[in-house]
Amino acid sequence: MDFVSVRLITDDVEGMVAFYERVLGLETRWGTEDFAEVVTPSCTLAIGQTRTVRLFGEGAARPADNHTAIVEFRVDDVDKEHERLKDFVGEFVKEPTTMPWGNRSLLFRDPDGNLINFFTPVGADAVRRFER
């Protein structure tokens, strides 16, 4: 089994795509006007329009209503990313902080309120966990 993607449901696909392209520095692959994917080397972030939900079952997902998941991206340098994003993101949930498990993390929200964690392993155990 392969973990392939996380899909975010939104009323504003174009706005979310623009946000993630700027935050991640990656181009989006559009499938239809209702569906786009930001492909990274390890996983894909899919963005789907609210009207696509009925294909899975009416009410299966609701836009801008995530209170449990954190979308996480490992980056080379959290502090540099923080500087790069300051003018664009504006408000951060958590400024760069080294967590007890050894990752230096930066938390902020996308336009729909989904929590995003940019992190860099800095502790010895964390670095070992992410060695390729």
pLDDT at 132: 66
The domains of the chain, with CATH numbers, are 1-60 (3.30.720.120), 66-132 (3.10.180.10)
Rounded to an integer, the average pLDDT of 57-82 is 94
CA atoms within 13 A on the CB side of 2: 5
Q: Which residues pair with 115 in a beta bridge?
A: 70, 109
> What is the per-residue pLDDT across 21-37, written as a single tens digit (0 to 9) for each?
999 999 999 999 999 99
CA–CA distance, 80 with 105 (Å, rounded to integer)? 12
Name the band, by pLDDT with cuts 50, 70 and 90, for residue 122: very high
Contact 14, 1 (CB under 8 A): no
DSSP codes joined into one string, the chain = ----EEEEEES-HHHHHHHHHHHHT--EEEEETTEEEEE-SS-EEEEEEGGGGGGT-TTS--TT--SS-EEEEE-S-HHHHHHHHHHHH--EEEEEEE-TTSEEEEEEE-TT--EEEEEEE-SHHHHHHT--
